[in-house]
Amino acid sequence: MTLRHTILSPEKVEETRLLYEADVVPARDCMANIGLKRDAFYTLVHTLNWKLRRPPMNARGEVSAATKARLGVAPEVSMVGPASGWVGETDPRPQTATQTIAA
């Protein structure tokens, strides 16, 4: 297999970056504009630290908690345990196995 080297003009790279980051054209059109195939294009995107169009997702299609934190998205609250009277792990009150009765 022969490696093909493509010489990219700075103007074409900047034009493609603006189109890609503005999300006005499909990524495949950006690839065609600059003359790169998919893997080479995304290598360029990551090498030059272009803004990604959407956050990366895991296999189940969920955005990771680390990505949400980096983007400033509030974490989702999920209910764990019985719906009534359950004390969460972040509750500052002391956790005891016996009930206390206030007098």
Kindly state the tokens that stand for 11: 């103007």
How far is 19 from 26, CA to CA, in rounded Å? 9
Instruction: Tell me the pLDDT tens digit for each residue of 14-48.
Output: 999 999 998 888 899 999 999 999 999 999 999 99
Kindly compute the dihedral angle of the four CA atoms of residues 61, 62, 68, 74, in this order, to the nearest 10 degrees.
Answer: 130
If you average pLDDT over residues 73-102, what whole number do you get? 59
Cα dist from 70 to 19, 65, 99, whole Å? 24, 9, 41
pTM for this prediction: 0.50
pLDDT band at 62 (very low <50, low <70, confident <90, very high): confident
* pLDDT for res 101: 65
